[in-house]
Amino acid sequence: MPRKKYTSEFKTKIVLSILQGDKEFNVICSENGLNPNMVRKWKQEFLQNAHLAFGADSERKAVQ
């Protein structure tokens, strides 16, 4: 059985839900049929790469 692929938008939505803390981690995972270990990896990757959202391109646009 092939693995299901999730869009970056979906992953972002899930991680932001977790970070907002409106629902418990396990509740979000079970409501969406997601493996908690996979979601932990998404969260870790999201937090490690958050600085890229404010990279050089964003800074140049803000200056203009």
Angle, vertex CA 26, rays to CA 21 and CA 30, nearest 5:
120
pLDDT in tens, 20-42: 998 999 999 999 999 999 999 99
- Alpha carbon distance 56, 33 (integer Å): 37
Map out the domains of the chain as residue ranges: 8-63
- Residue 8 pLDDT exceeds 90: yes
pLDDT at 10 > cutoff 90:
yes
Per-residue pLDDT at 59: 57
Alpha-carbon torsion angle 9, 13, 16, 17, nearest 10: -170
